């Protein structure tokens, strides 16, 4: 890990502990035992450091999810395992929502860039996964993957970040997004894909109260 990467990782941890506004360049330099001048030579301003630190958090989440899905047998299973990971990250998402809300309030230009790049990475990743599913015969060959990815991320953004979103009692934002992608996948799937989805869900999970999914108890 380079010095720049170590600084970004450290600031990411500081953001979780203290929030966007409270983390100052002086604090970062002091906590790392380096001069503020050196810090500014590496990062032109706080906005640049904030952007890289927030994107580090996004990339870390995707790396951890990729590790969890490494043993999956096909891309449909990768997507459904990702849903399970999403459901288990409620605390992480609560922290991200607070950070993004404060980023939007105090550093709107950084917020716009993080939001745009985060969404674009997600769309590209989902598009790749769905193209692979279709090539393997799990999706209807006429399924409009581009439309699906855009609609999914628009809807997910509303569910995860909308201030006025009202969900049924017992349904978390994470489980709502999980059900969203499961239902979208069912609607796009071929007969072969539907069989795989049903097999995976039956093997790994059972319906839970509130419409989410939980793992089977032995």
* Tens of pLDDT, residues 49-79: 999 999 999 899 889 888 989 989 999 999 9
pLDDT band at 88 (very low <50, low <70, confident <90, very high): low
β-pairing, 205-207 with 213-215? antiparallel
Q: How many angstroms separate the most distant Cα atoms in the chain?
A: 62
Residue 92 lies in a domain: yes
Q: Cα dist. 191→74, 78, 185, 188, 198 in Å?
A: 16, 18, 12, 10, 11
* Tens of pLDDT, residues 190-203: 999 999 999 988 88
* Tens of pLDDT, residues 134-144: 999 999 999 99
Q: Which residue has the tokens 């380096």?
A: 34
pLDDT of residue 83: 77
Strand, coil or helix: what is 141? Answer: coil
Residue 125, domain CATH: 1.10.357
**Chain centre distance of CA 26:** 30
pLDDT of residue 15: 96
Whether the predicted pLDDT of 91 surpasses 70: no
pLDDT of residue 59: 92
Q: Which of 36-40, 170-174, 190-194 has the lowest mean pLDDT?
A: 170-174
CB 173 within 8 A of CB 160: yes
pLDDT of residue 160: 81
**Three-class secondary structure assignment of 73-123:** CCHHHHHHHHHHHHHCCHHHHHHHHHHHHHHHHHCHHHHHHHHHHHHHHHH
Of 130, 131, 114, which is closest to residue 184 (Cα–Cα)? Answer: 130
Q: Count Cβ atoms below 10 Å from residue 90 Cβ, excluding itself.
A: 13
Mean pLDDT, residues 168-185 taken together: 88
Q: Which two tokens stand for residue 198?
A: 């049903």
pLDDT of residue 126: 92
CB 114 within 8 A of CB 100: yes
User: 118 vs 92, which has greater pLDDT?
Assistant: 118
Q: Which two tokens stand for residue 215?
A: 């793992």
User: 161 vs 187, which has greater pLDDT?
Assistant: 187
Q: Which of 80-89, 99-108, 143-152, 202-211 has the lowest mean pLDDT?
A: 202-211
Q: Cα dist. 80→99, 142, 176, 203 in Å?
A: 27, 22, 14, 12
Residue 114 lies in a domain: yes
Residue 208 lies in a domain: yes
Mean pLDDT, residues 122-147 taken together: 94
Residue 169 lies in a domain: yes
Roughly how many angstroms between the first and final C-alpha of the chain, as a whole number? 41
The domain in which residue 175 lies consists of 59-215
Residue 9 lies in a domain: no
**Chain centre distance of CA 154:** 13
Of 92, 93, 115, 94, which is closest to residue 103 (Cα–Cα)? Answer: 115
Mean pLDDT, residues 79-108 taken together: 83
Residue 15 lies in a domain: no
Residue 85 lies in a domain: yes
Domain count, the chain: 1
Mean pLDDT, residues 21-34 taken together: 96
Q: Which residue has the tokens 């999810």?
A: 65
Whether the predicted pLDDT of 103 surpasses 70: yes
Residue 165 lies in a domain: yes
């Amino acid at each position: 890990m380079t010095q720049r990467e170590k600084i970004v990782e450290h600031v990411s941890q500081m953001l979780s502990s203290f929030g966007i506004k409270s983390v100052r360049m002086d604090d970062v330099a002091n906590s790392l035992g380096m001069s503020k001048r050196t810090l500014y030579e590496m990062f032109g301003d706080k906005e640049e450091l904030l952007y890289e630190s927030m994107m580090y958090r996004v990339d870390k989440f995707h790396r951890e999810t990729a590790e969890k899905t490494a043993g999956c047998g096909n891309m449909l299973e990768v997507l459904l395992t990702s849903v399970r990971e999403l459901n288990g990250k409620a605390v992480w998402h609560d922290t991200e929502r607070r950070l993004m809300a404060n980023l939007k309030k105090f550093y709107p230009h950084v917020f716009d860039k993080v939001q745009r790049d985060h969404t674009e990475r997600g769309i590209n990743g989902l598009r790749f996964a769905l193209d692979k599913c279709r090539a393997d015969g799990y999706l209807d060959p006429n399924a409009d993957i581009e439309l699906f990815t855009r609609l999914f991320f628009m809807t997910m953004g509303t569910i995860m970040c909308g201030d006025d979103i009202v969900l049924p009692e017992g349904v978390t934002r994470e489980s709502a997004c999980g059900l969203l992608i499961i239902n979208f996948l069912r609607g796009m799937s071929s007969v072969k894909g539907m069989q795989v989805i049903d097999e995976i869900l039956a093997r790994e999970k059972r319906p839970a109260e509130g419409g989410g999914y939980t793992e089977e108890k032995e």
